[in-house]
Structure 1
Amino acid sequence: MPLGVIVRRAPGVTRWAPWVWRAVAVVPGAAEAHWKVLREENDITEYHAATVPLKLHGSDAEAYLNGLAARVPSVYVVMRASGKAERPYEVLLVTASPHESQDYGDSGEEIVEKIPMPEGLLAWVRTFALEHFEEEEFKKRRRDKKRIDRVEDGKGDARIPQMSDVYRSPGAKRKERLQ
């Protein structure tokens, strides 16, 4: 499903950041656009920055259900700095998976914005996730009956012959020599 990403430019609160850029909304089924001005009010400008497809994968159905179970079901917009002053961010993707968004957020190179899902998009993602979700049966791991703690082979380094405890403190050897 194509999603239009709305990005807001507002004045910064410090002298080091003259502008604050944030993704604030998505528009399901939007037409193509590249940084089209939607609204200007005082110093705040909203742009239709890009239209990117929201791709859902059956293997991620559990992640979608986790995201839908949140207090505010959301989609995540992933943006990266472009280096251009008039269009400082490039919209990479939109995802409904909180797991995928966390992966992008962990890198530190991308900006991930959490945006509440519109009702129509929420219904579409829920239908897809319920249709493709397959609960995995819990399988308890069984321990081996073999006891491996009864044999002490390889205490220390075999290449260094030692007659005493290899786990002694280094100072203990010095004390032995002094006595």
Structure 2
Amino acid sequence: MPVGVVLRKSPGVTKWAKFAWRAVCILPGADPADWKLLRTDGDVSDYHVTTVPLTIYRTDTEAYVHGLAANVPCVYVICRETSDPAKPLEVVMVTASPYEAQDYSDNGEDIVEKVMMTPQVHAWIASYVDEHHEEEAFVKRRRDKHREHKQDGIGDARISQTTDVYRAPRRAGSEPAQ
């Protein structure tokens, strides 16, 4: 589904940042755009920055179920800073998976913005999940009895060692205390 991304430019709150940018909404089914000014209210401006595809995958339905069950279902806009002052952010992607958004936020280079999901997108994802999601039963992994090794305190049997591996190390040339 093509999704337009709207970023808001507002005055910065510190002397080091002249402006603050944040994603404020998405526009499902939007036409292509390239930093189109939508509205201005004083020092605050909203831009339709770009339109990117929102792609959902059958293997990620567990993440979508988690995201749809939130108090406020959201999509995540992933942006990167650029060196162009006219276009300071590049929208990398939009995802409905909170797990994928977490992966992008972990790298420290990307900006991940949480944006409320529109009713159209919510209905589209919910119908996809209803059709494709399959609950997986939790299966606890059990140890293999034949692979368990007896602990005798000497350590790995493949290494020749006649003393206990948990003894205190000694310095070379030092005699044990009597």
Matches within 5 A, 1:128-143: 128-143=128-143
How much does 1:138 deviate?
2.7
Letter paired with 2:29: G
How many residues of Structure 1 are paired with residues of Structure 2 in the alignment? 175
- Ranges in structure 2 where 5+ consecutive residues have no aligned partner: none
3-state DSSP class of the match of 2:137? Answer: coil
Matches within 5 A, 1:112-123: 112-123=112-123
Contact 1:6 1:49 in 2 (8 A): yes
In 1, distance between residues paired with 2:37 and 2:2? Answer: 19
**TM-score, normalising length: structure 2:** 0.89
How much does 1:140 deviate?
3.2
How much does 1:154 deviate?
3.4
In 2, distance between residues paired with 1:154 and 1:33? Answer: 65
3-state DSSP class of the match of 1:130? Answer: helix
Matches within 5 A, 1:28-39: 28-39=28-39
Q: 1:154 and 2:156 equivalent?
A: yes
Aligned to 2:168: 169
In 2, distance between residues paired with 1:33 and 1:8? Answer: 15
- Ranges in structure 1 where 5+ consecutive residues have no aligned partner: none
Aligned in 2, Cα 1:175/1:155: closer, same or farther, shift over 3 Å?
A: farther
3-state DSSP class of the match of 1:83? Answer: coil
Q: Please, which moves more after superposition, 128-137 or 5-14?
A: 128-137
In 2, distance between residues paired with 1:164 and 1:60? Answer: 52
Aligned to 2:47: 47
Cα RMSD for the two superposed structures: 2.2
Contact 2:7 2:48 in 1 (8 A): yes
Contact 1:5 1:51 in 2 (8 A): yes
Identity of aligned residues (%): 48
In 1, distance between residues paired with 2:118 and 2:164? Answer: 68
How much does 1:82 deviate?
1.4
Contact 1:156 1:166 in 2 (8 A): no
Aligned to 2:58: 58
3-state DSSP class of the match of 1:170? Answer: coil
Contact 2:74 2:96 in 1 (8 A): yes
Aligned in 2, Cα 1:150/1:169: closer, same or farther, shift over 3 Å?
A: closer
3-state DSSP class of the match of 2:145? Answer: coil
**TM-score, normalising length: structure 1:** 0.88
Contact 2:37 2:47 in 1 (8 A): yes
In 1, distance between residues paired with 2:156 and 2:62? Answer: 46
